[in-house]
């Protein structure tokens, strides 16, 4: 009598435990799932909006996806980004070095703060996009102009974040370093920079995002090259799916770069955040 019950029980138990394992796995990745769901929902709305259609120049999600895959495979993205990334990488590197350096100096010295901070506060408030055409009068339409466009957009936010981060470094930790006879260099490198690094990196991320805007603006406003050229060209010949695919690719590249920067920060500067 007991045998069939047991057999029955065990045969039932196997799928339940498998299911619970599945659900456990699922709940482990719950945040990732919600993010995917959010993106999926967005694509769905896009697809519907494209099919209504809200404008003849608005492609559906699937059309854009097809164009995206084609452009990735035929190498037009690779060629475009090879050109676009040049001013971006140069500009962001220069902005990061100058920006973090200036930010730290301004955070440590009141004199430097008074001298430099107002300039960047004004620059941050200024409509930079309107100033980009002016660069071409001075530096022409080459790489220098585009790099400058990136720097103009990226530098102020990096400088101001770096300066605020350093100025607000935990005074107790600074006193601790001083009380254990740390010299000025140790105080800066071992306490102030690690303590300020989350805000400095927030500035870098904002700067990078602004840099992407800068380089695209430069390619649209100065001379169409790289990804800006792809957008301009496909718009002019009414290949709207390709045009949107190019725009999406910028968002994708920019998001991936920002995520990489965040991962780098966690790995190198703030190991305790990775663990928690």
Partner 1 sequence: MRNITAQAATAAAVPAGSDVAVEVRGICKMYNEVEALRGIDLDFPAGKLTTLLGPSGCGKTTLLKIIAGLIPATSGEVRVNGKAVTGPGPERAFVFQDFALMPWATVMRNVGFGLELKGMGKNERQAIAQKYIAEVGLSGFENKYPHELSGGMRQRVGLARAFAVNADVLLLDEPFSAVDEQNRRKFQEDLLELVEKEKKTFIFVTHSIEEAVYCSDRIVILSRRPGRIAQIIEPEIDRTASPDAIRRDQGYLDTVEEIWQGLKHYVD
* DSSP, res 191: I
Indicate which single residue of 177, 208, 227, 245 sits in contact with partner 1 (rule: CB under 8 A): 177
Task: Verify binding: residue 186, partner 1, rule CB under 8 A.
Answer: yes
Indicate which single residue of 97, 190, 256, 264 sits in contact with partner 1 (rule: CB under 8 A): 190
Give the number of C-alpha atoms closer than 13 A to the C-alpha of residue 103, restricted to the C-beta side.
Answer: 30
Question: How many residues are recorded in the chain?
Answer: 276
Q: What is the largest CA-CA distance in the chain?
A: 95
- Give 124 or 186: the residue with its C-beta nearer to partner 1: 186
Task: Verify binding: residue 266, partner 1, rule CB under 8 A.
Answer: no
Closest CA to 251 of 39, 98, 51: 39
- Give 194 or 224: the residue with its C-beta nearer to partner 1: 194
Query: Cβ of residue 275: shortest distance to partner 1, in angstroms?
Result: 6
User: Could you give the CA distance from residue 165 to residue 108 in angstroms, rounded to a whole number?
Assistant: 10
CB 231 within 8 A of CB 142: no
Task: Verify binding: residue 272, partner 1, rule CB under 8 A.
Answer: yes
Taking CB under 8 A as the binding criterion, the range among 33-41, 59-67, 68-76, 186-194 that sits at the site for partner 1 is 186-194
Segments in the chain forming alpha helices (H) = 2-28, 30-51, 61-73, 76-108, 110-125, 128-139, 143-167, 171-179, 184-186, 193-221, 226-236, 240-268, 271-275
Window 152-171: contact mask with partner 1 (x via CB under 8 A): ------------------x-
Q: Establish whether the linkage from the previous residue to 53 is cis, with ω within 30° of 0.
A: yes
Indicate which single residue of 13, 44, 121, 176 sits in contact with partner 1 (rule: CB under 8 A): 176
Task: Verify binding: residue 237, partner 1, rule CB under 8 A.
Answer: no
Query: Cβ of residue 178: shortest distance to partner 1, in angstroms?
Result: 6
Task: Verify binding: residue 185, partner 1, rule CB under 8 A.
Answer: no
Binding residues for partner 1, per CB under 8 A? 170, 172-173, 175-182, 186, 190-191, 194-195, 269-272, 275-276
């Amino acid at each position: 009598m007991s045998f069939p019950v047991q057999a029955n029980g065990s045969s039932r138990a196997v799928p339940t435990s498998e299911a619970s394992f599945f659900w456990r796995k699922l709940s482990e990745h719950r945040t990732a799932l919600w993010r995917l769901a959010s993106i999926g929902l967005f694509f769905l709305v896009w697809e519907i909006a494209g099919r209504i259609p809200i404008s003849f120049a608005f492609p559906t999600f699937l059309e854009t996806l097809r164009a995206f895959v084609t452009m990735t495979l035929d190498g037009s993205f690779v060629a475009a980004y090879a050109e676009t990334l040049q001013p971006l990488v140069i500009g962001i590197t220069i902005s990061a070095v100058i920006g973090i350096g200036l930010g730290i100096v301004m955070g440590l010295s009141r004199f430097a703060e008074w001298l430099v901070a107002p300039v960047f506060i004004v620059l941050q408030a200024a409509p930079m996009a309107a100033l980009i055409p002016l660069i071409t009068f001075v530096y022409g339409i080459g790489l220098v102009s585009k790099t400058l466009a990136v720097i103009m957009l990226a530098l102020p936010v990096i400088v101001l974040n770096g300066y605020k981060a350093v100025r607000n470094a935990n005074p107790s930790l600074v006193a601790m370093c001083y009380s254990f006879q740390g010299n000025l260099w140790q105080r800066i490198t071992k306490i102030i920079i690690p303590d300020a690094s989350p805000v400095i990196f927030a500035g870098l991320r904002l700067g990078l995002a602004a840099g992407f805007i800068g380089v695209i603006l430069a390619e649209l406003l100065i001379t169409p090259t790289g990804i800006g050229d792809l957008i301009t060209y496909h718009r002019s010949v009414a290949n709207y799916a390709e045009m949107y695919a190019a725009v999406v690719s910028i968002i994708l590249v920019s998001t991936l770069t920002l995520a990489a920067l965040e991962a780098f920060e966690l790995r190198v500067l703030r190991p305790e955040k990775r663990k928690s």
